[in-house]
Structure 1
Amino acid sequence: MGIMRIGHVNIRVMDMGAALKHYEKVVGMKTTHKDAEGNVYLKCWDEWDKYSLILSPADKAGVNHVAYKVEHDADLEALQKRIEAYGIKTEFQPAGTLPFVGRMLKFNLPSGHDMRLYSQKEFVNTDVGSTNPDPWPDDIKGTGAHWLDHCLLMCEMNPEKGINKVEENTKFCMEVLDFYLSEQILVGPDKAKAATWLFRTSTPHDIAFVGGPINGLHHIAFFLDNWNDILKAADIMSKNKTRIDVTPTRHGITRGETIYFFDPSGNRNETFAGLGYLAQPDRPVTTWDESHLGQGIFYHARELNPAFTEVYT
């Protein structure tokens, strides 16, 4: 019971035409719906729900909400009671508030980020189907991302004012939503949590939190198979003149192989490959200290680029 996996992310874009070209031609997603308000809904070829990304027209980039899928509809009431008992207000939104989605439980994380939980979204199957399927479809575009893998949210952290929304979000997600902690960065004499990676599936993280001056979106990540796919993705991004933030490398944290890049509005994307390790509830938490931050974030260079945590939407 409870949360199974990430369901979708709703981000803001300033030029819908440019954004669609990016997510379809570079990332390799397909548009599955457009609504009267101008929102566009997309999915990756290996996803079976109607969509995993919502693009909303806006004057400023960033994230509107993140949504996670629960196993049973009754889980929504159970989680509502736990969230309300924790001191966070909730709101049930009726089915159809989002196209093709059943009722949703809406609330804000301690950081203020809007989160939704739901159990039902229209099933459309993967692009290869579920009966005697081929390993991949013939019409893959761009990087050929398999699925939306995770998101990383920036959370206000100001030690001088006693603010650490990374710790608050982590505590809430673990105690109320039953996430497990896979990795963490601890800083300062008090060993404060400056970043955390949490999971509900068997991958190293389904959501992550990193401290920064203000709340925001650091990135949304799309899964690729392996290192060769990462290298090919870099070629595709260069060919399409995509703004690349971090060229192909490996993380120490999660062990993932990665590229970071930006959509035309400035929302950071990631292509993330490799299982890294099998995340299990009884796996020891991996801890990184301040002296190993560079190695943890960028294992090859072993140096942390300040813009990586200072630039986000």
Structure 2
Amino acid sequence: MGVMRIGHASIKVMDMAAAIKHYENVIGMKVVHTDAQGNVYLKCWDEWDKFSLILTPADSAGLNHVAYKVQHDSDLEQLKASIEAHGIKTEMLAAGALPFVGRMLKFHLPSGHEMRLFQQKELVGTDVGSTNPDPWPDGLKGAGAHWLDHCLLMCPLDPEKGINTVADNCKFMTQAMGFHLSEQAVVGPNGAIQLAAFLFCGGKPHDIAFVGAPTAGLHHVSFFLDSWADILKAGDVMAKNRVKIDVAPTRHGITRGETIYFFDPSGNRNETFAGLGYLAQPDRPVTTWTEDSLGRGIFYHQGAVTESFTTVYT
């Protein structure tokens, strides 16, 4: 069985027109479909599946679900058995339950977040095609993000009550779904509490991440850019569009990525992320960040974490 990569994220927005303008003009996505319920589907130029982001109209912001693509249709049955063997209920959604997508395996992580797995989604190709392609297409808007890269989920953590769904999610994802732990942050006496976990299923440092918080939620969805120069340009795009920036251009210690954090009009946090960092492999030793160096791990340059970064999420 094999989970290959992130497939899409479905998030809630309170002002659809403002959200579309943001994801088109700031991120650089394009609208590919609007369904009868008013949900809007978008893709980045370097993605070959039909869409990678769904915006759904709602009264509050946050995550509906995050979906990952598996390699073979038979993987869905194997993963269903593996997930249920870990005590988690699943539901198989029929093909077409989500437009352009084949059947999906739906379940909830120990943290309560909804996750889906699928194998088939309509293939439309990248904007430069697959035959003698140019390195990038004409007419890119905004930051010109290549693809939806990963998401970070906030997970209930209360050591006094023995609750740590960061560790629960990490154990589940590695044992039941075949993900691998690349980096972690530990706190408390002797580093006994796993505060954050970064996991991968392909070759990049992380395809999903979990961080402890009082309640479950969405911290951010991240979009990939090529380089530090593209990160700086993205910052200019955000300034021109009067976007609320949470963390100005900087580098992570964790994953070594280059980053900007900012908010869409509904308050969902976005990230533009650049740099492979390193080639993640199953036999690579896990990188551990201790409590005394956690600030450098998150924001390497300033060595400290702004309060909003850990307390504001949807």
- TM-score, normalised to structure 2, is 0.99
Distance 1:307 1:242 in 2: 16
Question: How many aligned positions are there?
Answer: 313
CA-CA distance at 1:139 after TM superposition: 1.1
Aligned-residue Cα RMSD (Å) equals 0.6
**Counterparts of residues 1-313 of structure 1 (less than 5 Å):** 1-189=1-189, 191-313=192-314
Distance 1:120 1:49 in 2: 9
Q: Is the 8 A contact 2:258 2:273 kept in 1?
A: yes
1:179-213 Cα distance to aligned partner (Å, 9 max, x none):
00000001111521000000001110000000000
Distance 1:247 1:192 in 2: 29
Listed as ranges, the gaps of 5+ residues in structure 1 are: none
CA-CA distance at 1:305 after TM superposition: 1.2
Distance 1:242 1:84 in 2: 42
SS of 1:266's partner is: coil
Counting aligned pairs with the same residue, the percent is: 72
Distance 2:237 2:65 in 1: 29
Distance 1:155 1:3 in 2: 22
Distance 2:44 2:284 in 1: 30
1:22-74 Cα distance to aligned partner (Å, 9 max, x none):
00000000000000000000000000000000000000000000000000000
1:105-147 Cα distance to aligned partner (Å, 9 max, x none):
0000001100000000000000000000000000110000000
Distance 1:288 1:174 in 2: 19
Distance 2:145 2:41 in 1: 16
Distance 1:303 1:155 in 2: 21
Q: What one-letter code is carried by the residue in structure 2 that aligns with 1:112?
A: G
Distance 1:306 1:195 in 2: 17
Distance 1:248 1:189 in 2: 33
Listed as ranges, the gaps of 5+ residues in structure 2 are: none
CA-CA distance at 1:306 after TM superposition: 2.0
Distance 2:304 2:186 in 1: 17
Distance 2:27 2:123 in 1: 22
Distance 1:203 1:279 in 2: 5
Q: What one-letter code is carried by the residue in structure 1 that aligns with 2:101?
A: V
Distance 1:304 1:290 in 2: 12
Q: What one-letter code is carried by the residue in structure 2 that aligns with 1:164?
A: N
Distance 2:4 2:43 in 1: 18
1:231-256 Cα distance to aligned partner (Å, 9 max, x none):
00000000000000000000000000
SS of 1:293's partner is: helix
CA-CA distance at 1:158 after TM superposition: 0.6
Q: What one-letter code is carried by the residue in structure 2 that aligns with 1:143?
A: A
Distance 2:131 2:89 in 1: 43
Q: Is the 8 A contact 2:7 2:69 kept in 1?
A: yes
Q: Is the 8 A contact 2:23 2:29 kept in 1?
A: yes
Bigger mean CA offset, 81-90 vs 183-192 = 183-192
Q: Is the 8 A contact 2:246 2:308 kept in 1?
A: no
Distance 1:115 1:52 in 2: 14
1:138-173 Cα distance to aligned partner (Å, 9 max, x none):
011000000000000000001111110000000000
Runs of 4+, deviation exceeding 3 Å: none
Distance 2:111 2:304 in 1: 28
Q: What one-letter code is carried by the residue in structure 1 that aligns with 2:285?
A: P
1:82-101 Cα distance to aligned partner (Å, 9 max, x none):
11111100000000000000
Distance 2:26 2:185 in 1: 32
